[in-house]
Amino acid sequence: MSKRPPSKQAQATAAYDANTATGRPLRRIALSRRTALKGAGACIGLPLLDAMIPSATASEKTAAAKHNLRRLSYVYIPMGFNPAHWTPQDESLDNLPRSLQPLAPVKQQVAVITGMDLQNAYPGSHATSNSAFLSAAKAKLTESSDYRLGTTVDQIAAKQIGQHTQLPSLELSMDMLSTVGQCDNGYACVYQNNLSWSSPTTPLPAEAHPRLVFETLFGDGGTPQQRAASLRDRASLLDSVVGEIKRLKSRVGSQDRERIDRYLESVRQVEQRIAKAEANAMDHPLPDLDRPVGVPAAYRDHARLMFDLQLLAFQGDITRITTFQLAREASTRSYPEIGVADPHHPVTHHGNNPTKLEKVAKINQYHVSLFAEFLQKLQNTPEADGNLLDHSLLMYGSGMGDPDRHDHSNLPVIVAGGAAGNLRGGRHIRYDSPEPLANLHLTLLNKVGVPLETFADSTGTVDQLFDPVSL
């Protein structure tokens, strides 16, 4: 009886192992981009490895990486800004205003855009600021369940580039609220609670609990009791896949082994931080009944953890689309750690009071600093011919301009990333007359491979944001 010939995957693996030893170039893919480590209740995606895109030449490998690495991330801040400490004075970012100074280390991969507006968010409200930010659509005025908006840009992208990943998209927030009914001037709370809508009538709830996000990314843990038992039974999620890790590392080269080790160490650190937060919450119970176990008590720690989870999701190619609400519209959160003990929302009704305006600027700078830390971590994470920031596009901003007037003009907007080396960073793009935010949304969709001619009330694209080089 003749032996069955080895599969193509087996042949590819053998070729990879042989060529890794000899240093010869490769022409056959040894590992699928979807390769994951699987264990008991866990499925851990992997960073992009050389073994996933072997090529005869460096240029071919670079082209393959740029084609496959298209990520899109949106970060929302509520209640507008203080433009006096935000708006750059010229077309460069050489002299960053105070609220944007945390961006200095990554400013060459950042563009600040002023003069954009959301006409469909009027009449001005907190609910429409949030709901129109990614939809550029007019929300139906209702306090009931017959709400209607529009499909948001992140979900349009998810339908195209999210189909190749474990999760089409990931929706995150910082506020664990389940308010329903009427929240703002006759608008249902659903408009204020949700950034992402997969259809005009389907809002996507965001998750604020780090443990639940972690388990969404790396494996479900069942009931709270089962999760607690799992934590007792194993020191780390990685323990359940240790055999898979060992086998995988035996099949790849030394650089890939280092990449795997760095990524898995990041996973372990995040898991340990979550476990520490859970233990702290159990040992030091707080009267705040809305804070589930496992959520860091400090806002900064919570936000950093949520950003780190997004980094892991991108690095492991678990998803390529994320949205993150850094705080909810009309939030009364205070920030004593930066000297703002007053609730955020009342401060934004400043009436041009210098003291209140100063506090708004401090909050703006604080939120930007958290985003800037995330950008630096992306930049410090190697991938293919560059780093994670090179292969991502991120938009940061608010659906409100002047919070005192609840207007939706001159919005604070930042675009960051590399777009595979295509973004023209270190620049301030200023529009003297109102420019639809939908134009920026359309531009970013096109740049990540979602070819649309129009979106919502768009009138064109923001061509000056990118060099005229195709992705």
Q: What is the pLDDT of residues 340-354, one digit of tens each?
A: 999 999 999 999 999
Question: Residue range 104-131: average pLDDT?
Answer: 96
Highest averaged pLDDT of the listed ranges 11-20, 171-180, 382-391: 382-391
CA 175/CA 105 separation, integer angstroms: 29
Q: What is the pLDDT of residue 17?
A: 42
Q: What is the pLDDT of residue 287?
A: 39
* Residue 64, pLDDT above cutoff 90: no
* Residue 402, pLDDT above cutoff 80: yes
Q: Where in the chain is the domain with CATH 3.40.720?
A: 73-208+320-471
* Residue 7, pLDDT above cutoff 50: no
Does residue 34 or residue 457 have the better pLDDT?
457
* Residue 440, pLDDT above cutoff 90: yes
Nearest CA to 130 out of 141, 118, 142 is that of: 118
* Residue 419, pLDDT above cutoff 70: no
How many CB atoms are closer than 10 A to CB 400? 30
**Average pLDDT, whole number, for the chain?**
82
User: Apex CA 286: angle with CA 283 and CA 288, to 5°?
Assistant: 145
How many CB atoms are closer than 10 A to CB 232? 8
Tell me the pLDDT band of 455, cut-offs 50, 70 and 90: very high
Q: Which fold has domain 73-208+320-471?
A: Alkaline Phosphatase, subunit A (3.40.720)
Question: Residue range 147-153: average pLDDT?
Answer: 97
The dihedral over CA atoms of 275, 281, 284, 289, expressed in degrees to the nearest 10, equals 180
Q: Per the confidence metrics, is the pTM higher than 0.85?
A: no
* Residue 192, pLDDT above cutoff 50: yes
Which CB contacts under 8 angstroms, 24+ apart, belong to 85-90?
85/361, 85/364, 85/365, 86/361, 86/364, 86/412, 87/112, 87/114, 88/112, 88/428, 90/428
Q: What is the pLDDT of residue 217?
A: 84
Question: Residue range 214-229: average pLDDT?
Answer: 64
Q: What is the pLDDT of residue 226?
A: 56
Question: Residue range 396-420: average pLDDT?
Answer: 93
Does residue 47 or residue 373 have the better pLDDT?
373
Q: What is the pLDDT of residues 8-19, one digit of tens each?
A: 444 444 444 444
Does residue 441 or residue 123 have the better pLDDT?
441
Q: What is the pLDDT of residue 262?
A: 74
Lowest mean pLDDT among 124-128, 193-197, 276-280: 276-280
Tell me the pLDDT band of 295, cut-offs 50, 70 and 90: confident
Inter-residue contact 430 to 86 (CB < 8 Å): no
* Residue 193, pLDDT above cutoff 50: yes
Q: What is the pLDDT of residue 42?
A: 58
Q: What is the pLDDT of residue 255?
A: 78
How many CB atoms are closer than 10 A to CB 369? 18
Question: Residue range 163-183: average pLDDT?
Answer: 77
Does a cis peptide bond (omega within 30 degrees of 0) precede residue 123? Answer: yes
**Which of 250-260 are b and which e, b meaning 16 or more Cβ less than 10 Å from the residue's Cβ?**
ebbbeebbebb
Tell me the pLDDT band of 102, cut-offs 50, 70 and 90: very high
Does residue 11 or residue 268 have the better pLDDT?
268
Tell me the pLDDT band of 165, cut-offs 50, 70 and 90: confident
Q: What is the pLDDT of residues 238-261, one digit of tens each?
A: 666 677 777 777 777 777 887 777
